[in-house]
Amino acid sequence: MPSELEGLGELTYTAWREKADALRPDGRLFIDGEYRDAADERTFESIDPATGKLVANVARGGSADVDAAVAAARRCFVQGDWARQAPRNRLEVLYRFADLIEAHAAELALLDVLEMGKPITDTITVDVPETALTLRFYGEAVDKLEGVTTATEPDVFHYTLREPLGVVGAISPWNYPLWMASWKFAPALAAGNSVVLKPAEQASLSCLRAAELFVMAGGPPGAFNVVAGYGEEAGQALARHMDVAKISFTGSTEVGKLIMKYAGESNLKQVGVECGGKSPHIFFADLEDLDRAVAAAVEGIFGNMGEVCNAGSRLLVQREIYDEFIERVRTQTQRAYTLGDPLDPATTMGPLVDAEAAARVREHIEEAEAAGARLAFGGMTADAGKNYVPPTAFSQVTSDMRLAREEVFGPVAAFIPFSTAEEAVTIANDSVYGLAAGVWTGSASLAHRMAREIQAGTLWVNTFNEGDMTQPFGGYKQSGHSRDKCLETLLEYTQVKSVWMRL
C-alpha cells in the first residue's frame, strides 16, 4: 500500500484548497463496523475556525448510541472476534491499519486542519505519521505480552495470565485529534480489548474515518467504535457505563475529575487520566547554545497555537540573561510564526480551535495586563481575524498571577525572572500541575539536581518537547496519573489472572 506522505510536502496552497473543497466527510457514528446516524437523528455543526464555514454535520451521539456501541464492543469481545485471534493476526491488522492511515494521509490531515485549524504542514509531518507510528509500536508489541510462572512449593503449579480488560472507553481532546486518540486506541486494541472512542466535539471526523480504516484493514466489526457527540452527553454516558471496564481520558483537569467521579458512581471501572499543564521552561545563564534555547522556548509555547498540554508556558529566565532572552524570543517568534490560512503550507500559525477558545485566551491577555504584567509583544491586534490570536508574551509575571497559575491553552508566554536554582525550583513547583518541564544549563550536575527536584512527568534537558514512543508521557499532581506511549502503557490495558493448581 503506497504511503501518501512522501509527496504531500510539495503540494501548493491551491492544491490543498482544491483537495479540501473536494472532501465530503462522513459525520455519522461508526458502530459495529458501519456508519450510522444517531438514534435520535440529532446532529451538530462542525465549523472551520479559519473560515467560519461548515465542515460537516456530525452525528450527536447520546446514551442510546453509547449503549449500542458498548453492546457491539462487548459482543465482539465475548465472541473472541478480536481478543482471541492469534496475536500475530492482530499484529498484521494493526500494521495494515497503520499502512491505511498513511495511504489516506492527505484526507486525514485535511480533516484535522479543517476542524481545528492547525497548519497543514504540521498534520502531514507530525499528526498523521505519528499516528501510524503509534499503531506500529503497539502492533509490534502484540505478541510480547507475557505472564510468568512463579517459584512455589513442589506440588503446586502457579502461573499468571495477562488478559485484556474487555470494553475500553476512550475520551480524547481536539488539539491533536487523531494522534492523541491513537495513544488510547492503539494500546487498547493491541492488548485485545474492544474500544469505544468519544472524540472531542470540535474535531471528530479523522477518528470516525480511522475506525472505518480499521475495518478495511481486517479488524472485526465491533472491535473499534467511534461515537461522536458532546462530552456531557456521549462522554458522560460512556464514563458511567456499567459494561465499560476502563476509561482512558485525555483532556482538561476539570473534566478528568468528573471522569473519576463517574467511575466511582457507576461500576468502579479503571480510570486513566492525562490532563492539563502549566509547564516551566527554565533557562540558566550558563546555558551553552542560546540560539537553540531561544528556538526551543519559542516553539515550546507557540507551536500548535499554544494548544499543547505540555506547552512551556512559564518561561523562567535567570536575571543575568533575562532582558536579552526576551528580546531574542521576540525576534525569533517574528521569524518563525506566520499567521494565515492553515491550508497554506507557508502558514505556521492557524486560528484557535473556536470562538470560545479565542475569547478565553483574549480574556487572559486582558487580565494579565490589568494584573501588572508587562506586554512584551503580541496582544490584542485589531487586524487579526476573529479566531486568530498572535503570539503574545508578558514579562514581569509573578507566580500569584492567573497567567502563571492557569492553563491558557493558547499562544501566551509568561516570563518569570529568577536568581538562584533554589528559587527556580520553588517557582517551577508552585503549581497544581506537573506535566512537563525543561531545563537549559551547561552544568550536568545542576541538570541532574533539577531533574530530581522538579515535580513533573517529563523533564527535558537542553531540549524541549522531544521524545519517541519508548518514552512514558503523563503527569504528576493534577496533570493526571496515567502514562501514554511506552511499552508499560500496554499493561495498563490488561489485567492479571493468577492460576494456582495443586498437582
By annotation, the residues acting in catalysis are 274, 309
Q: What is the CA radius of gyration of the chain?
A: 23
Residue 312 lies near ligand NAP (rule: CB under 6 A): no
Q: Is 193 in the site for ligand NAP (CB under 6 A)?
A: no
Which residues does residue 249 pair with via DSSP β-bridges, in sequence order?
A: 171, 273
Interface region with ligand NAP, contact rule CB under 6 A, candidates 80-88, 193-201, 321-329, 446-454: 193-201
Of the candidates 201, 154, 159, the residue with the CA atom closest to the CA atom of residue 59? 201
Q: How many CB atoms lie within 10 A of CB 39?
A: 16
In the region spanning residues 165 to 184, those forming contacts with ligand NAP, defined by CB under 6 A, are 171-175, 180
With H, G, I as helix, E, B as strand and everything else as coil, classify residue 395: strand
Task: Give me 19's grid cell.
Answer: 483537495
Assess 117 for contact with ligand NAP (CB under 6 A).
Answer: no
Among 65, 201, 212, 299, binds ligand NAP (CB under 6 A): 201
Rule CB under 6 A: which of 263-292 touch ligand NAP? 274-277
The only residue of 198, 269, 314, 364 in contact with ligand NAP, by rule CB under 6 A = 198
Q: Which of 123, 122, 130 is nearest to 107 (CA)?
A: 123
The yes or no reply on residue 480 touching ligand NAP (CB under 6 A) is yes
Which lies closer to ligand NAP via its Cβ, residue 438 or residue 475? Answer: 475
* Nearest CA-CA partner of 226 in 332, 72, 22: 72
The single residue among 207, 245, 255, 389 that binds ligand NAP, judged by CB under 6 A, is 255
Strand partners of residue 375: 394
Q: Which amino acid is at 295?
A: A
> Is 97 in contact with 214 (CB distance < 8 Å)?
yes
Amino acid residing at 297 = A
Q: Which of residues 132-171 bind ligand NAP (CB under 6 A)?
A: 171
Which of 62, 221, 251, 378 forms a contact with ligand NAP (CB under 6 A)?
A: 251
Closest by alpha carbon to 69, among 179, 211, 268, 218?
211
- Grid cell for residue 412: 501566551
Residue 232 in contact with ligand NAP, rule: CB under 6 A: yes
| Rounded Cα gap, residues 392 and 412, in angstroms | 5
Q: Which residues contact 437 (CB under 8 A, 6 or more apart)?
A: 279, 280, 281, 282, 428, 450, 454, 456, 458, 459, 460
Residue whose CB is less far from ligand NAP, 235 or 300:
235
Q: Are 8 and 124 in contact (CB under 8 A)?
A: yes
**CA neighbor of 481 nearest in space, from 491, 490, 492, 471:** 492
Cell of 62: 447520546
29 lines the binding site for ligand NAP (CB under 6 A): no
252 binds ligand NAP (CB under 6 A): yes
Q: How far apart are CA 133 and CA 113, in angstroms?
A: 20
Q: Is 187 one of the binding residues for ligand NAP (CB under 6 A)?
A: no
Shortest reach from residue 437's CB to ligand NAP, in Å: 14
Q: Is 409 in the site for ligand NAP (CB under 6 A)?
A: yes
| Identity of the residue, 310 or 441, whose beta carbon is nearer to ligand NAP in the bound complex | 310
- 417 near ligand NAP, judged by CB under 6 A: no
Is residue 200 a contact residue for ligand NAP (CB under 6 A)?
A: yes
Size of the site for ligand NAP (CB under 6 A): 32
User: Among 414, 426, 451, 424, which residue's Cα sits nearest to residue 315?
Assistant: 414
Q: Closer to ligand NAP at the Cβ: 172 or 494?
A: 172
Reference 327, options 417, 393, 390; nearest CA is 393
- Among the candidate windows 84-92, 196-204, 212-220, 358-366, which touches ligand NAP by CB under 6 A? 196-204
Q: Does 492 bind ligand NAP (CB under 6 A)?
A: no
Q: Which one of 105, 435, 437, 456 is in contact with ligand NAP (CB under 6 A)?
A: 435
235 binds ligand NAP (CB under 6 A): yes
Binding residues (CB under 6 A) for ligand NAP: these are 171-175, 180, 198-202, 230-232, 235-236, 239, 250-252, 255, 258, 274-277, 309, 407, 409, 435, 475, 480
